Amino acid sequence: MRTRCGDKTFLAGVVLLFGTPASARATVRVLGQALRPSELRVERACWMPNPPLPSVQSTGRLSDEHDTTHGGKEAGTGQQNGGEAANRGEFGFDLLGVPPNTQKVNEDALRLRRTMLTVHQGVGLGMFALQLSTTIVGQLNYNDKFGGDNTSKYVQAHDILAYSTLASFAAAATLAWFAPKPIKRGEGFDRVSLHKASMLAATLGMLAEGTLGIWTQSREGYLNQKSIGTAHLAIGYVTLAAVTVGISALVF
């Protein structure tokens, strides 16, 4: 039996304040109601302070469970909130008590990380477009140099694109490398691991490409220029594939 402020609450108060079970029963009998103390559950007596049934938020601070919102946020439509107001008392219980200490999340660091990774994402996509262009122009340059009229008409475009690709790749890598890591967690091999592995392969590919590209240019007139250029071209495709895998790992 539930009691609320009023006569029954008064009885409950008598039981709680003065009562041994025997005296309580006696008190109740005297008042003409055969109630046992075990049947009396005081939901909130009028002498108890407000607010009732506080629950503990995981941040450790006490909060009023009966509020629909916390932290000043709007809960949504007033219609739904108002309609449920009567039900909230029904859910005023707390069966779990104070939450255990869990890993704290540094939200500022998380926000900075998100900003840096969003920029990283934009720079990375731009870098991918540049790299694709570099590879296409590089193939045209190779065809012109070793299979065509050797007009050198693609050399400048290829150089500009290649250095832009390298610069944007370095910028994207720097953003990811220096982004704060507020949460330490062992994930095993996941999509991010695949992204990182692919980008590591792409980094090695870019370094090799740069070296081979400069070497190819320096071997003008030598017999091995074509083979070095071919290796440069092949590594270009491998690097492009590594970046494609790295991006796809996160996007799809």
Partner 1 sequence: MRRTLYAILIAAAVPSGAFTVDAAKSAIQFTVIHKLHRVEGKSNEIEGKAVVKDDGTVQAMVRVSVASFRSGDANRDEHMLEALEAGKFPYVVFKGVAQLPPGRAVPIPSLEMQGEVQLHGVTRPMRVSLSLAPQRDRSIRGQGSFDISLDAHGIQRPSLMFVKIEDTCHITFDLVFRAGR
- Which spans of this chain sit near partner 1 (rule: CB under 8 A)? 57-59, 67-71, 73-76, 80, 83-84, 87-88, 90-91, 93-96, 99-100, 102-107, 110-111, 113-114, 117, 121, 182-183, 185, 187, 190-192, 195, 250-252
Q: With respect to partner 1, which residue has the nearer C-beta, 75 or 214? A: 75
- CB 170 → partner 1: shortest distance, Å? 20
- CB 224 → partner 1: shortest distance, Å? 43
> Packing angle between helix 21-30 and helix 7-18, nearest 10 degrees?
150
User: Is the link from the previous residue into 51 a cis peptide, with omega within 30 of 0?
Assistant: yes
* 8 Cβ contact partners less than 8 Å away, ≥ 6 residues apart: 1, 40
Q: With respect to partner 1, which residue has the nearer C-beta, 26 or 183? A: 183
Residues 131, 158: Cα–Cα separation, whole Å: 10
- CB 137 → partner 1: shortest distance, Å? 26
Residues 161, 144: Cα–Cα separation, whole Å: 17
Q: With respect to partner 1, which residue has the nearer C-beta, 80 or 218? A: 80
Q: How big is the CA angle at 214 (ends 208 and 216), to the nearest 5 degrees?
A: 95
Q: With respect to partner 1, which residue has the nearer C-beta, 82 or 148? A: 82
- CB 81 → partner 1: shortest distance, Å? 9
3-state secondary structure of 134: helix
* 126 Cβ contact partners less than 8 Å away, ≥ 6 residues apart: 168
Q: With respect to partner 1, which residue has the nearer C-beta, 124 or 138? A: 124
* 157 Cβ contact partners less than 8 Å away, ≥ 6 residues apart: 137
- CB 30 → partner 1: shortest distance, Å? 28
Q: With respect to partner 1, which residue has the nearer C-beta, 114 or 153? A: 114
- CB 108 → partner 1: shortest distance, Å? 9
Pairing status of strand 55-56 against strand 41-42: unpaired
Greatest distance between any 2 Cα atoms in the chain:
118
- CB 51 → partner 1: shortest distance, Å? 15
Specify the DSSP element, H or E, that contains 246.
helix 225-251
Q: With respect to partner 1, which residue has the nearer C-beta, 148 or 180? A: 180
